[in-house]
Amino acid sequence: MKNAGAWMACALMAFALVMGWQALTLRYYTKFGPGSGFMPVWSSVLLFLLSAAYLWESLRRDVIRFRDILPEGKTLWRNVTILLAVLVFILIVPYTGFVAAGIVLLLAVFLFDFKWYAGLALSVTIILIFFYLFRTLLKVPLPVNALGW
Q: Which residues from 15-74 bind other proteins, rule CB under 8 A? A: 19, 22-23, 26-27, 30-36, 39-40, 43-44, 46-47, 50-51, 53-54, 57, 62, 64, 69-71, 73-74
Closest by Cα among 94, 68, 77 to 146 = 94
Which among 48, 42, 59, 63 has a CA at the least distance from the CA of 17?
A: 48
Give me the least distance between CB of 117 and other proteins, in Å please: 15
Closest CA to 125 of 115, 113, 117, 135: 117
Q: Which of residues 84-143 bind other proteins (CB under 8 A)?
A: 84-97, 102, 104-114, 122, 126-127, 130, 134, 138-143
**CA 68: distance to chain centroid?**
21
Q: Does residue number 147 form part of the binding site for other proteins (CB under 8 A)?
A: yes
